[in-house]
């Protein structure tokens, strides 16, 4: 039985892979439409504050857990709190990752279909209205969407089966810099559209009168979702981190990159929204309708659209890598001989379980669970219930089960600033983060509905 202690080969490799997890579809796909439905600038300002004051302390907490034990999510809690119910925290993370993978792979499939349509010229010359119709037809076609979902899952399996250095890290080192460069180029072009300044104002000028309890709660939920917190992805990824890595520096870099990509995504989408007379609250399909219309106005727009869809696919894949990795890592326990088999079994199982979500926009559109389609039910369960629950448990677990001395010693390894930041970080994690997450969690359960 071959056991191999895998590690990231470089500090940058860890940051890119973790940033890919955090950025992914959360920043590029979900942020624009959630911001669009939640007030624009006010939402974005709250999102930044919550990312810095609540998301980053929790991210560092997850990093400490993983690097200290060097184990997967479930084994980490078993080691630090043996023979206790805390191991459920790891299981919540693994189960949530599986659920998210079932509907993320659906979106990944949509991107693949759009990419093929862009390559073959089927999106060329279409108006915004026609693009909306095209999107509706694509997601309603069962065989096309299922086939694309399967291809997306297969791509994810192939990379994860190769392991940390040869698979996830190697892919992320190429994918993430390319994503940043292309996002910058497209943002510059989008800002030159006729209605660009209206879009910029919508995103960057907060209208405080538009802030409601829902806006605050959505912004906090998005801050947790965008950093992939509460599902022990960061616990598992940091278990491959050497002691020479600065955890505060890594967390800060990831938080800043996440905010920056969300900003770029907003600067790409909202100028197009106002230029083409769309509603910012268009919903999950917003990016698939607006972007092709923006590229249609550009010189060599077809090539830029293809390039963006490739990078959009990359963002989706980097998220999918981490989702599958957390589940696989919990099964193989760093025994490399088991990795490939486990990757294939779990990946195919995610595809099968994701079939109802894939069909939720077509033949199973009328099949509902508690008034929601399978796709929306999976999203609600994972994003609004299990992720906040997992985040709450982790924020309580870290200061409860690890002493201040242990936490400080772990933070100081590889970092020259940890001592100065420690008390602020500890206060935020122990007191501010749990309270904020409880608010989000109670809202997810509908307990605040009487107040707004």
Q: Mean pLDDT, the chain, as a whole number? A: 82
Where do we find the tokens 């992914």? 24
Cα 27 vs. chain centroid, distance in angstroms? 7
With a CB cutoff of 8 Å and minimum separation 6, the contacts of 188 are none
CB 294 within 8 A of CB 212: no
- For residue 14, pLDDT beyond 70: no
With a CB cutoff of 8 Å and minimum separation 6, the contacts of 440 are 217, 220, 221, 224, 388
Using CA atoms, how far residue 162 sits from 71, 118, 157, in Å, is: 18, 30, 9
Give 244-268 pLDDT, tens digit per residue.
778 888 888 888 888 888 888 888 8
Cα gap 307→382, rounded to integer Å: 31
CB 37 within 8 A of CB 193: no
With a CB cutoff of 8 Å and minimum separation 6, the contacts of 354 are 101, 102, 103, 105, 106, 149, 153
Cα 403 vs. chain centroid, distance in angstroms? 30
Cα gap 43→37, rounded to integer Å: 9
CB 89 within 8 A of CB 393: yes
At the top level of CATH, which class does the domain 11-445 belong to?
mainly alpha
Cα gap 421→425, rounded to integer Å: 6
- For residue 169, pLDDT beyond 70: no
Give 329-382 pLDDT, tens digit per residue.
888 866 667 888 999 999 999 999 999 999 998 888 888 888 889 998 998 888
Using CA atoms, how far residue 80 sits from 248, 403, 435, in Å, is: 22, 11, 24
- For residue 271, pLDDT beyond 60: yes
Q: Please list the residues that pair with 306 across neighbouring strands.
A: none
CB 436 within 8 A of CB 220: yes
Domain ranges of the chain: 11-445
For residue 172, the model assigns a pLDDT of: 66
Indicate whether this model's pTM tops 0.75. yes
State the helix-helix crossing angle for 213-226 and 41-50, rounded to 10 degrees.
Answer: 50
With a CB cutoff of 8 Å and minimum separation 6, the contacts of 276 are 128, 195, 290, 293
CB 302 within 8 A of CB 295: yes
Cα gap 174→39, rounded to integer Å: 35
For residue 230, the model assigns a pLDDT of: 85
Closest alpha carbon to 112 in 140, 139, 84, 74? 139
Q: Which residues of 41-78 are buried (b: 16+ CB within 10 A; e: fewer)?
A: bbbbbbbbebbbebbbbbbbbbbbbbbbbbbbbbbbbb
CB 380 within 8 A of CB 372: yes
User: Given CA atoms 71, 50, 401, 407 in this order, what sign does their dihedral have?
Assistant: positive
Give 184-234 pLDDT, tens digit per residue.
888 888 888 887 898 889 888 887 777 777 778 778 877 887 788 888 888
- For residue 62, pLDDT beyond 80: yes
């Amino acid at each position: 039985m071959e056991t191999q202690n895998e590690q990231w080969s470089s500090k940058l490799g860890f940051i890119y892979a973790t940033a890919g997890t955090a950025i992914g579809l959360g920043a590029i796909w979900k942020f624009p439409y959630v911001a669009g439905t939640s007030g624009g600038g006010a939402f974005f300002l709250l999102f930044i504050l919550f990312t810095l004051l609540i998301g980053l302390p929790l991210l560092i907490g997850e990093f400490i857990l993983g690097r200290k034990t060097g184990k997967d999510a479930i084994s980490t809690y078993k080691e630090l709190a043996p023979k206790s119910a805390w191991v459920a925290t790891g299981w919540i993370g693994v189960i949530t990752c599986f659920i998210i993978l079932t509907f993320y792979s659906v979106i990944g499939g949509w991107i693949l279909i759009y990419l093929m349509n862009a390559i073959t010229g089927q999106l060329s010359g279409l108006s915004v209205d026609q693009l909306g119709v095209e999107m509706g037809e694509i997601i309603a076609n069962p065989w096309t969407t299922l086939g694309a979902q399967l291809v997306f899952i297969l791509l994810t399996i192939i990379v994860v089966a190769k392991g940390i250095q040869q698979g996830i890290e190697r892919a992320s080192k190429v994918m993430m810099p390319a994503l940043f460069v292309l996002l910058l180029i497209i943002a510059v072009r989008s800002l030159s559209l006729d209605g660009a300044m209206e879009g910029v104002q919508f995103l960057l000028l907060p209208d405080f009168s538009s802030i409601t309890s829902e806006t605050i709660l959505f912004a906090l939920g998005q801050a947790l979702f965008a950093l992939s917190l509460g599902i022990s992805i960061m616990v598992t990824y940091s278990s491959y981190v050497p002691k020479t890595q600065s955890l505060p520096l890594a967390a800060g870099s990831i938080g800043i990159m996440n905010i920056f990509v969300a900003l770029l995504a907003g600067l790409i989408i909202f100028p197009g929204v106002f230029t083409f007379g769309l509603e910012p609250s268009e919903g999950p399909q917003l990016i698939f309708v607006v972007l092709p219309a923006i590229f249609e106005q550009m010189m060599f727009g077809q090539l830029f659209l293809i390039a963006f869809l490739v990078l959009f696919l990359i963002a989706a894949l980097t998220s999918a890598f981490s989702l599958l990795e957390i589940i696989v890592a919990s099964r193989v326990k760093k025994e490399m001989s088991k990795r490939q088999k486990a990757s294939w079994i779990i990946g195919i199982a995610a595809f099968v379980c994701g079939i109802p979500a894939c069909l939720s926009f077509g033949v199973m559109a009328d099949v509902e669970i508690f008034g929601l389609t399978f796709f929306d039910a999976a999203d609600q369960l994972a994003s609004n219930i299990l992720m906040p629950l997992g985040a709450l448990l982790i924020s309580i677990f870290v200061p409860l089960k690890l002493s201040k001395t242990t936490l400080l010693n772990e933070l100081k390894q590889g970092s020259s600033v940890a001592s100065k930041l420690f008390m602020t970080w500890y206060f935020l994690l122990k007191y501010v983060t749990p309270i904020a997450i409880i608010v989000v969690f109670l809202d997810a359960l509908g307990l605040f509905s009487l107040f707004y």
